[in-house]
Amino acid sequence: MNNTMNLEKLLDRFKLDKQEFFFQLQSHPNYPSVLAFSDTLNFLNVKNDVYEIEKEYWRELPDEFITIYKSHFSLIKKEKKSYNVYSDEVVNILEKDLLEHSQNLVILFEQNKTPNYLPKKSIKYTFFFFILLVLYVIYNFLQKNWVGFTFNIVSVIGLYISSEIFSEKFGKISTTLNSICGHTANKTNSSCNKIINSDSINIFGLKLSDFSLIYFVTIVILGLLLPNTSVLLQITSWVTVVAIFYSLYIQILVERSICKICLFIISLLIFQIILSRFFVAVPISSLAILASLLIFTVVFIGTIYINELLKKNDSLGKSNLKNLKFKRNYDVFKRELTEQKRIPFKNSTGGFFVGNPDAKLHISIVSNPYCGFCKEAHIILEKLLANYPDDISAQIRFNYFPENESEKSQRLMETLYSSYSNKGAEEFLNALHYWFKNKNEEAFFEKYKNLDTLNMKDIINSSLENKKFGLNFTPNIILNGYPFSDKYDREDLFYFIDELLDDEQVVNG
């Protein structure tokens, strides 16, 4: 079912991160399958159910649904007299075409606003490179050399395309390459990949496409030194004729298939050869030659290093996917969960109880307001309660012993309990969220007032019970009495939550 995984426009429609989607999809134990696709959507908070529905009933379906159209998972959106199909591209078709080329499988969905997972923080370099590009363009513009300016802009375009090809070797999905190759750049059997992968050049692990990157990086830098490097750039441009003929030889005579990306780069190289003829010739200085050699050497060695580093990361990533497939097998998770001794809390609804009392899954979280790791556990709990309001309840069991607490610690707990008792569970969760976000006692007491003196008996009894069962470390998560296995990360709970809710053994104990 690999053909069903070309989902460019479908993912755009759902506004899902493509890298995250494919990572979660490929790490599913049943990849590739309809189940893997459905579970991945669920994990990314597009709640869905899979049905087998005969075509005669399709007119009763919602305005948007997912099916397999022409062997691709596709989002179908009803228009007045036609349907828009979102998959690797967007097409408009008539009902007859939809029914004729679709399977009976239908996925009905709803997309929630609250993310169902904690996205990993990453450094965004786009803005930094954009600033560099703007400065590069401005500098070239101020030189008032229109031939050199055009030559350097073409170099930047070539650098961008070459870097996208380089990145795609290691799993990055490039919208630009997909658009040039007709949304097939990321398919292993596409003409573009076929040509690029058929390249037999291997110099320190680098192929011709990698040397394209080295070439454009080098001339982007040398372009800043115009007109002193004009003759060098002329010579370098003409040297690329060898690469042009080699690429055309592979495409026409060896593979007998055209690579649109390769032709695009070839057109840039030919254009630069033509432009270089109009350079004002400046005698080559020894300093310019040494600078050029140094730049090329640094770029060459740097590309080799980065290529090897990314190869190792790619290998580790593939190993990680294999490990995750095993780790995310629900049967393994359930065995780890249910083999542990159940904790029979006497009062699982007293103190800080939130959610539906009749929920299928009850989560007990042993916590401490001053615990550094508890913030993340509470964020997970908040998201689960928001996304499963009818199916999940929770009891927050603070380890609180008044005789061992400072005055401010006692006041904090009393204020939280006052908020819960007088304003309800939602306001309590807001107050707790505010506390973990800031952990500033003065600011908290200023914002939230202790309205009255309350009996803290339920809170203290829960704490004593925690101690009795050895729950001294925080945070600690218990699912319907089963301690969450320390072999899993707490975020993994998002991945198993739907199966837990459908598991009669876990639900009914």
Question: Domain boundaries in the chain?
Answer: 2-111, 126-319, 331-508
- How far apart CA 329 and CA 83 sit, in angstroms, is 37
Kindly report the pTM of this predicted structure. Answer: 0.63
Q: Which class is 126-319 in CATH?
A: mainly alpha
- How far apart CA 121 and CA 200 sit, in angstroms, is 38
- How far apart CA 280 and CA 231 sit, in angstroms, is 8
Task: Give the architecture (CATH level 2) of 331-508.
Answer: 3-Layer(aba) Sandwich (3.40)
| pLDDT attached to residue 15 | 83
For helices 407-423 and 425-438, what crossing angle results, to 10°? 150
For 73, list phi and psi in degrees, rounded to 5. -60, 130
| pLDDT attached to residue 43 | 83
| pLDDT attached to residue 120 | 52
Query: Of 196, 158, 164, 194, nearest to 179 (Cα)?
Result: 164
| pLDDT attached to residue 476 | 92
Contact 25, 40 (CB under 8 A): yes
| pLDDT attached to residue 506 | 85
* Per-10-residue mean pLDDT, the chain, length 509: 60 81 83 86 85 89 90 88 86 91 90 56 63 84 84 92 85 74 53 70 83 92 86 90 89 84 92 89 84 92 91 81 82 90 86 91 92 90 90 92 88 91 91 92 89 80 90 90 90 89 84
Query: Of 68, 14, 19, 13, nearest to 41 (Cα)?
Result: 14
- How far apart CA 88 and CA 85 sit, in angstroms, is 9
Query: Of 54, 35, 51, 42, nearest to 14 (Cα)?
Result: 42
> Is CATH 3.40.190.80 correct for 2-111?
no
Q: Coil, strand or helix: which one is 46?
A: strand
Q: Three-class SS string for 261-327?
A: HHHHHHHHHHHHHHHHCCCCCCCCCHHHHHHHHHHHHHHHHHHHHHHHHHHHHHHHHHHHHHHHHHH
Q: Coil, strand or helix: which one is 138?
A: helix
| pLDDT attached to residue 3 | 42
Find tokens 């649109």 and name the residue. 260
- How far apart CA 503 and CA 137 sit, in angstroms, is 60
